[in-house]
Amino acid sequence: MSCDFAFFILHFALNFTFGTRYILRCGDFSNNYSLFACTWRRIHETGARYMVNCMHEAAYYKKLDGNKVQCLLCPHFCVIAEGERGKCWPRQNIGGRLCATTYGLASSVALDPIEKKPLYHFHPRTNILSLGSLGCNLKCVFCQNYEISQVTAERTIPVEIDDIIKEAKRLGSIGIAYTYNEPLIWFEFVKDCAARVRKAGLFNVLVTNGLVNPGPFDELLPLIDALNIDIKSIEDDFYVKYCGGVLGPILRNTKRAAESAHVEVTNLVIPTLNDKDENFIKLRDWLFDNVGPDIPVHLSRYFPCYKLKIPPTPRETLERAREIFAKKMKYVHLGNV
């Protein structure tokens, strides 16, 4: 059977199994970006990724008895049995190896104003080519991007680093932003892409929840020019109860990032959950004491999303928060208003 004929059969099988999802997604992108032109070859590659086991071995894990592995990328330290996935989803134990199953697979691509990240003090009024994949190592009940972060379906297209860089230059983008879902669990791809993006003279931007272990974070940071780090609350209880995570490593990483890159912080203000004066004062004081008054703060308005149904944040709450932050911090912005 010729190779082309084999690919045709594979393509037919994929579309039978997954419907027209791939073609529609590729079609959406190809309207705007030539690198996502939906060729037969790319569809075949997508299929191959689902059919060939462990295309890309993950970094930061160790093998355990019984073909189990333990992921060392983030503070969850998931122990993963064969065939299972970690809490974040993309990292899967295939045959006793931890695999980065979303390496080179994007779920979302767009050219965004840098202010949308949000970064207001890093090359303002420019655009940045923004990529996201699938999964997240937090399980926030209010997630605003839950369709790609809390994965219920695989919806991706393959992207090549050279194509991404070419397209960024063609579009006049200042660089690449790794965003939409959590980029730190896309670690291997982000690191490889960021190294080439840096070499090409473009910037790398991370929009992140900051939940990663010190080793991988320190490995990635020298390649990163700017970060927006989401500090959802200054209370550890909040992370445990509403996000399935912990606060300590996020604060550590915020401090660490601010030593080597441009950092802005976002706090999503949610009525009754993290909107008391004492919440704002504690976060403000931590920022002031640990990263200084110059770090920009974005106080973002919450809207009901995913599992959380309480009404949106009143404007007055955000104004009150801004007043409190502005007593010590120089740059306080309201978002989603």
Binding site for ligand SF4 (CB under 6 A): 71, 73-74, 76-78, 86-88, 91, 137, 185
Q: How far is the CB of 260 from ligand SF4 (least distance, A)?
A: 22
Nearer to ligand SF4, 134 or 273 (CB): 134
Comparing CA positions, the residue from 62, 157, 43, 168 lying closest to residue 114 is 168
Q: Which two tokens stand for residue 269?
A: 């203000």
Q: How far is the CB of 41 from ligand SF4 (least distance, A)?
A: 31
Comparing CA positions, the residue from 75, 72, 95, 74 lying closest to residue 84 is 95
Nearer to ligand SF4, 74 or 205 (CB): 74
Nearer to ligand SF4, 42 or 76 (CB): 76
Nearer to ligand SF4, 14 or 250 (CB): 250
Q: How far is the CB of 61 from ligand SF4 (least distance, A)?
A: 7
Q: Which two tokens stand for residue 204?
A: 């790398």
Strand 203-208 versus strand 226-230 pairing type: parallel
Q: How far is the CB of 74 from ligand SF4 (least distance, A)?
A: 3
Q: How far is the CB of 87 from ligand SF4 (least distance, A)?
A: 4
Nearer to ligand SF4, 73 or 295 (CB): 73
Q: How far is the CB of 88 from ligand SF4 (least distance, A)?
A: 3
Nearer to ligand SF4, 107 or 317 (CB): 107
Strand 175-178 versus strand 203-208 pairing type: parallel
Question: Nearest-CB residue to ligand SF4?
Answer: 86
Nearer to ligand SF4, 8 or 77 (CB): 77
Q: How far is the CB of 315 from ligand SF4 (least distance, A)?
A: 36
Nearer to ligand SF4, 74 or 206 (CB): 74
Q: How far is the CB of 102 from ligand SF4 (least distance, A)?
A: 11
